[in-house]
Amino acid sequence: MLTIHKIVGFCPQLLQIIMTEEVQMPVRQAAAIYLKNEVQQYWQERETEPGAPAPFSIHEQDRTLLRDAIVDATAHAPEKLRLQLAVCVNQIVKHDLLEKWPNVIQKVGIYLQNPDTSLWFGALLCLYQVVKVYEFKNVENRKALHEAMRVLLPMLYERCVLLVPDHSDKSVLLVKQILKIYFSFTQYFLPTDVISKDMFTRWMDLLKMVLEQPVPQETLSVDEDERAQLPWWKSKKWATHILCRMFDRYGSPGNVNKDYDEFANWYLKSFSSGIIGVLLGICDMYRKKVYIAPRVLQQCLNYLNEAVRHAFSWKFLKPHMDWVVQEVIFPLMCYSDTDAELWESDPHEYIRLKFDVFEDFVSPVTAAQTILHSVVKKRKDVLQRTMGFLMQIVTSQQADPRQKDGAFHMVGSLADILLKKQLYKDQMETVLVTYLFPEFKSPQGFLRARACWTLHYFAEIAFKNPNNLAMAIQMTVEGLLTDKELPVRVEAAIGLQMLLTSQEEKVVPYISPKIREITFEVLKIIRETENEDLTNVLQRIVCTYHEQLAPVAVDIMQHLVETFKNILESADDDNKAISAMGLLNTMDTMMAAFDEEPAVRAQLEPVAIQIIVHILQNAIMELYEETFSLVYTMTCHSITPHMWNVLEIVYQAFQKDAFDYFNEIMPALHNYVTVDTPAFLSNQAHVLAMFNMSKAVMTSDVGEDTECHAAKLLEVIILQCKGHIDQCIPSFVEVVLHRLLREVKTSELRTMCLQVVIAALYYNPQLLLDTLNKMTLPNTNEPIMAHFVKQWIHDTDCFLGLHNRKLCILGLCTLISQVEGRPAVINECATQIIPSLILLFDGLKKAYEAKAQEETEGSSDEEEEDEEDIENALLASDEDEVDYDSAKYLEALQDRIKKNAPHSPFGITTSIGEDDDDDDSDFLPSDEESLETFTTPLDIDDCPIDEYLVFKDVLQSHVIKGRQFLVP
């Protein structure tokens, strides 16, 4: 098969086998899988590398035959084969696009006009694959799809109208597939030239028809866990999915791109009443105990949540909000039969689901919590009525335990609002002590867990009575240490973390006597549940009590390592990877906490190193980011011989499979260079490894941000090792100058490469000049010196931040100080040097001022939201909530794209909005991955090199010696 698949006619022969009914189904399935793999691997033509044989791709003759037959095959194929053929369609469209394969649309249209509905599904599946290929493309690249959908969309609508009244599962599946196509087509862009207002209105009416269609009674005999997968509920799910997308992205005035402003106002006024009425009808069915699929209910609540923001839609929702809160949201937030069954049968799975962030995206409980918080915060009087309802349940002696759970669930969800409203803030301590605290002793495990959960959300409450705080801590600690139910212990652990985080000074003394017992209990639960949230609990404990935990630090680390190994040996899935990441982060916290205690660190380091080595040598790539962060932490203040050995392993990993993680490796590499420079220089292999990694990055196509990091590493080595690496300077300079001679798309990379050469000039001017004089531009005998100096002076306005400007100034001062062997280009550019320096000093002054202001104001600009802010957030019945910042950002972004795209040599698809003229953001490093965080000797607070004095001395020297070349 290694050679036969290259024969002309092989793929069409596979397709013929697939479509021959006389052939046994297992053989046809095998042929379908083989054809899918052939198309995926060999449809795209690949470039031939120099000296290598031409790579195989499917012959054009076979491609033509496949393009001509694949839609027919998919339309006629049995369901077992259809999906494999659909993947083939996807791959063909992906590489050929509609421009090269227009008849795919024609064939789909022909089949949709065929009265035989059995052929529609395959045709729709082909169309869906076409739309999916274009789904994320920008408007310009979607033109071919838009032209196709002008013809097909009305046809899809007509077919759907015919199918909706037919309740058979086949018809409903076809409706579902049509809705999926419509959603994919409109998810990121609504082409109003293709979908007119009239057409859009008809589709909205169609969606309402789908939602209002009753589900057949026989579906009630299906197990409830499987009922949501029935086609009737799937079609309703896609209908609500489309409605939510249309409202959120295109129909919410003040929160959409300005291109949709007029459409959004029209949408809100045209559809609010009808759609909200239909969705409230679904909610009404739910409150009457009629089964509603969870995803359908979730999307209904999401739509209503968006409706809360707008006065026009709110007026239709407002009369019904009380029963929605009390009879829909409240039951959803109560402990359910499903919860009880899972708690009893598999508490570990119960915990996993409750803490699964991905579950939140599809859970109606989360949607209920979201709309509750939204309506209480944004609409007047809803909080008062809601709290009145909840307090009736909480204070009732006859209340069902599950109802109490729901009430406290809702109260906890509103904690941030209640604690900022003076009316409730003053009463919450009494409410918690009187009604919540007794539930810590409830015979119902789920109520004890809810008590811990609720306290967690009220952790920042300022208890007027210290005894109440002590009681809260005591009950939480007891829940963690003594409760027999695992979910309770988990919630207690997280509650304890939040108390420590919110009121550390007050809470620490209460917990100190039992901190070791608490720590090992948390470790035990982490091993038992593999829950990432609990690793955050342990990190908080270690950070807060590291002195008390020092004697048992090694035991804690060993426990973490054993748990980590258990996770790696267990079944591979995303949750395991997330748990392993949490454990690595906890080990990182451990090493940081005991970094200044050499005796403890000496014991911890070997334990951590074995994990680092295991991950890197076994290529567990999903954990590389956390692993390199751990290496960074373990090299921040000192570097032991064992950690120098780790550098070698990191280098080996880089050469093998960590190439794409260079940005994550860079902080640790910076430590290796700067923390113990003599040890770094003591072994030439260290310098060579750094150079090889940087060179590998800068001679590849990994991306300019990563190349900037590589160039920065070279600059750091030059400045850190001044006077010790003369033999390396020519190689460093050659790498960056060769990179500059290739296409550079960003000023950041260009200036970073220039900085390496400038650093070399500062390191040893004569060595750098000699190096440049030996290098010539490609295909010429012209020295590269002139090209470098002119580019440098031209780009002085691109040197931003403190370090970059300072180095540029020192470099120019060094350049103009040269007397012997001064390159002619310096005299040629002499009159531009002083203006460039003035520009740099002006920017540097602003950068220093911005830095001083930032240090004065503190690292956080966030202010606590007070009651006045909460009151201002309330909307009157005739007010809309408008996300002005978001709307303005989107408008500025779009304007910038339109303005710059025609003049750019590169394909601009996104940009950053225009900055204000007085914005100081250019004068400080960005918060995210700023290269200025990789400091050099020029950046330390007591740096003896003052760029202002250096410049002054240079000018005075020129004046004294009568040099005139710097002025016209």
Identify the band that residue 571 occupies on the pLDDT scale cut at 50, 70 and 90: low
570: left (phi over 0), alpha (psi -120 to 50) or beta: beta
CA dist., res. 914 & res. 916, Å (int) = 7
Q: What is the pLDDT of residue 902?
A: 43
What are phi and psi for residue 379, nearest 5 degrees?
Answer: -120, 130
In contact, 725 and 718? CB cutoff 8 Å: yes
Residue 909 reports pLDDT greater than 60:
no
pTM for the whole structure: 0.84
Q: What is the pLDDT of residue 704?
A: 92
CA dist., res. 189 & res. 734, Å (int) = 47
Residue 296 reports pLDDT greater than 60:
yes
Would you list the DSSP string of 733-796? HHHHHHHHTS----HHHHHHHHHHHHHHHHH-HHHHHHHHHH-B-TTS--BHHHHHHHHHHHTG
| 521 to 35, 206, 537: CA distances (angstroms) | 55, 56, 11
Q: What is the pLDDT of residue 1?
A: 62
Rounded average pLDDT over 921-928: 40
Nearest to 611 by CA among 638, 588, 641: 588
CA dist., res. 69 & res. 16, Å (int) = 10
CA dist., res. 813 & res. 950, Å (int) = 7
**Residue 470 gets which letter from DSSP?**
H
Rounded average pLDDT over 73-80: 94
Identify the band that residue 855 occupies on the pLDDT scale cut at 50, 70 and 90: confident
Structure tokens, 140: 């310009």
**Amino acid at residue number 206:** L
Q: What is the pLDDT of residue 370?
A: 96
**Amino acid at residue number 739:** R
CA dist., res. 127 & res. 109, Å (int) = 9
CA dist., res. 633 & res. 738, Å (int) = 34
Paired with 379 in beta bridges are 875
Q: What is the pLDDT of residue 923?
A: 40
pLDDT-above-70 percentage for the chain = 90
- Comparing 922 with 572, which gets the higher pLDDT? 572
Summarised one tens digit per residue, pLDDT across range 253-291 is 999 988 899 999 999 999 999 999 999 999 999 999 999
CA dist., res. 13 & res. 20, Å (int) = 11
Rounded average pLDDT over 478-498: 97
- Residues with Cβ < 8 Å from 536, sequence gap 6 or more? 497, 582
CA dist., res. 156 & res. 112, Å (int) = 8
* Averaged pLDDT of the chain: 89
Residue 197 reports pLDDT greater than 60:
yes
In contact, 512 and 548? CB cutoff 8 Å: yes
Structure tokens, 966: 């710097």
Tokens 């012959």 locate to 59
Identify the band that residue 922 occupies on the pLDDT scale cut at 50, 70 and 90: very low
Tokens 């008590």 locate to 451
**Residue 246 gets which letter from DSSP?**
I
Q: What is the pLDDT of residue 785?
A: 85
Structure tokens, 431: 């409410």
CA angle 563, 524, 560 (to 5 degrees): 30
The domains located in the chain, with CATH, are 686-853+929-967 (1.25.10)
In contact, 379 and 308? CB cutoff 8 Å: yes
Q: What is the pLDDT of residue 414?
A: 97
**Residue 596 gets which letter from DSSP?**
T
Residue 885 reports pLDDT greater than 80:
no
**Amino acid at residue number 11:** C
Q: What is the pLDDT of residue 861?
A: 45
Structure tokens, 104: 């795919």
Would you list the DSSP string of 487-502? HHHHHHHHHHHHHHHH
177: left (phi over 0), alpha (psi -120 to 50) or beta: alpha
Residue 532 reports pLDDT greater than 50:
yes
Summarised one tens digit per residue, pLDDT across range 380-403 is 899 999 999 999 999 998 889 999
Summarised one tens digit per residue, pLDDT across range 456-471 is 999 999 999 999 999 9
Residue 346 reports pLDDT greater than 80:
yes
Q: What is the pLDDT of residue 873?
A: 63
CA angle 891, 257, 369 (to 5 degrees): 120
Paired with 875 in beta bridges are 379
Identify the band that residue 919 occupies on the pLDDT scale cut at 50, 70 and 90: very low
Identify the band that residue 830 occupies on the pLDDT scale cut at 50, 70 and 90: confident
pLDDT-above-90 percentage for the chain = 73
Rounded average pLDDT over 503-511: 94
Question: Using N-to-C axis directions, what is the helix angle for 624-633 and 641-656, rounded to 10°?
Answer: 150
Span between the terminal Cα atoms of the chain, in Å: 77
Identify the band that residue 712 occupies on the pLDDT scale cut at 50, 70 and 90: very high
Q: What is the pLDDT of residue 905?
A: 32
Structure tokens, 866: 């007070």
Nearest to 361 by CA among 298, 277, 449: 298
| 385 to 388, 392, 408, 458: CA distances (angstroms) | 5, 11, 16, 21
Q: What is the pLDDT of residue 825?
A: 79
Residue 102 reports pLDDT greater than 50:
yes
In contact, 11 and 62? CB cutoff 8 Å: yes
Instruction: Find the farthest-apart pair of alpha carbons in the chain and give their distance in angstroms, rounded.
Output: 102
Residue ranges of alpha helices (H) inside 217-363 are 224-227, 231-245, 261-287, 294-307, 311-317, 321-324, 330-332, 337-345, 347-354, 357-360
Nearest to 574 by CA among 777, 738, 356, 750: 356
Q: What is the pLDDT of residue 968?
A: 46
Q: What is the pLDDT of residue 915?
A: 37
Residue 790 reports pLDDT greater than 80:
yes
Identify the band that residue 862 occupies on the pLDDT scale cut at 50, 70 and 90: very low
In contact, 560 and 590? CB cutoff 8 Å: yes
Would you list the DSSP string of 415-435? HHHHTTSHHHHHHHHHHIIII
**Amino acid at residue number 615:** I
Q: What is the pLDDT of residue 365?
A: 96
What are phi and psi for residue 304, nearest 5 degrees?
Answer: -65, -35
**Amino acid at residue number 689:** A
Summarised one tens digit per residue, pLDDT across range 622-663 is 999 999 999 999 999 999 999 999 999 999 999 999 999 999
Q: What is the pLDDT of residue 878?
A: 63
Identify the band that residue 904 occupies on the pLDDT scale cut at 50, 70 and 90: very low
**Residue 636 gets which letter from DSSP?**
S
Residue 238 reports pLDDT greater than 90:
yes
Summarised one tens digit per residue, pLDDT across range 112-156 is 999 999 999 999 999 999 999 999 999 899 999 999 999 999 999
Q: What is the pLDDT of residue 54?
A: 81
| 158 to 164, 172, 240, 553: CA distances (angstroms) | 10, 15, 20, 70
CA dist., res. 756 & res. 735, Å (int) = 10
Residue 172 reports pLDDT greater than 50:
yes
